[in-house]
Structure 1
Amino acid sequence: MAKYVKASDSIIEVVNDQGKKLKVTERAYNIVYKGKGFKPVNEVSNKAQDPNTSEVDYFTLSAEELQEIKNDDLKAFLDKEGISYKSSDNKDDLIKLITGE
């Protein structure tokens, strides 16, 4: 049986590795989201090079981590970086462009 510790119910903003942001209570963060890899936004911005952007640099992710990201997001990242790709490219092709394989 799980043991729950009472946490304050203030609202915090959390973000996962893919950059998805959510507003949750501290209690929900501690019980649910922390175990799923979410982190408070202020922790993430301290580690980021530019604290004004919350975008993930896909160049730093492994091929396995990139498999979790939607094709549309991969294509948007490639567009932003100015890397060309074919519209018929599948996820593996897009990941190879990002990882440089």
Structure 2
Amino acid sequence: MTTYVKALDSIIKVVDLNGKEQQVTQRAYDVVYKAKGYKLVDGSLDNQKGQEGELVDYFTLSREELEKVKNDDLKAFLDQEEIEYPSTAKKEELIDLVLGE
């Protein structure tokens, strides 16, 4: 069985139902804010690269969020995590690998 070590959560921007914008960690969004109706600010996923250019921890994202990520970025993440995939893999297959399905 493969053991995954999650990196520190990235900071993302979310907006509440009243339009108030906040910065929260990805984990806090997944666990708390998403259930309360908060939404990601447009482009928030595109800006999730760390300050030193490291890749986002896609293990913390939902299927809907991963569908917005480019295939090349998913492949780069899988390469970094040393997870093998067929070169002809489609986005759905890449997402399944990230989600462990």
When normalised by structure 1's length, the TM-score is: 0.50
Task: Specify which structure has the higher proportion of helix.
Answer: 1
When normalised by structure 2's length, the TM-score is: 0.50
